[in-house]
Amino acid sequence: MAFFALHPDLVYLKEKEILDQWNFMMPQAQGRKEKLYETAERQVRASGIPEVVVERKEVDAFKEGQKIKKLDTQIFLCVHAPGVFGSVRHFIGGRDYGNNLLVSRYLILPNRTAERLALNVFEREDLMAFNGLVHEALVEAVKEMMSEAHLDFSKMDTKSKGIVDIV
């Protein structure tokens, strides 16, 4: 219990709560996480998502049945629209992998249950629009950074994986 008392704002990414995800290895971009976050935040805000909030959150990964032994956290960009989608969140991450930057995006629904995911047609459309706009903002941020570095992004796979897929 002391662990949680010391880290009350820590967010855990749980596999079962991930509704959609996307990853991309940006070549030769080691050390550019901050630039990714600034560019992605600018793109998200420009998308006009109603009531959007963009903030930094300390995030740790959690595997079901795993005991929490040590703090192995990363800072992610958290995007949400509390008045529109309640607890649904996007987490945008960037971490160095060799001399590259691994870019990731996760759409999560905390404490996911089948009942909580039962959406009417308009709610599903709104969720897909929210997911699509954040995804597109991140893809545009990656393209912008790659273009500035004179790297080819034409073969970048932009399709996400999950139950609210984006093609």
User: pLDDT tens digit string along 69-85?
Assistant: 544 567 888 888 776 66
* Residue 54 to residue 141: CA distance in whole angstroms: 15
Look at residue 61 and tell me if it is in a domain. Answer: yes
pLDDT of residue 75: 80
pLDDT of residue 143: 93
Q: For the chain, what percent of residues have pLDDT higher than 90? A: 34
Look at residue 121 and tell me if it is in a domain. Answer: yes
Amino acid 53 reads V
* Residue 127 to residue 46: CA distance in whole angstroms: 18
3-state secondary structure of 150: coil
Reading the block at residue 89, the tokens are 């969140």
pLDDT digits (tens, 9 = 90+) for 104-161: 999 888 776 545 566 778 877 888 888 889 999 999 999 999 999 898 888 888 887 7
Look at residue 60 and tell me if it is in a domain. Answer: yes
Domain count, the chain: 1
Look at residue 167 and tell me if it is in a domain. Answer: no
Is residue 66 very low, low, confident or very high in pLDDT (cuts 50, 70, 90)? low
Q: Which domain holds residue 8?
A: 2-162
pLDDT of residue 9: 64
- Range 5-12 average pLDDT: 55
Is the model's pLDDT at 30 over the cut of 70?
yes
Confirm whether pTM is higher than 0.85: no
3-state secondary structure of 114: coil
- Hey, which residues does 11 pair with through a beta bridge? 59
Is residue 1 very low, low, confident or very high in pLDDT (cuts 50, 70, 90)? very low
Give the CATH number for residue 104. Answer: 3.30.530
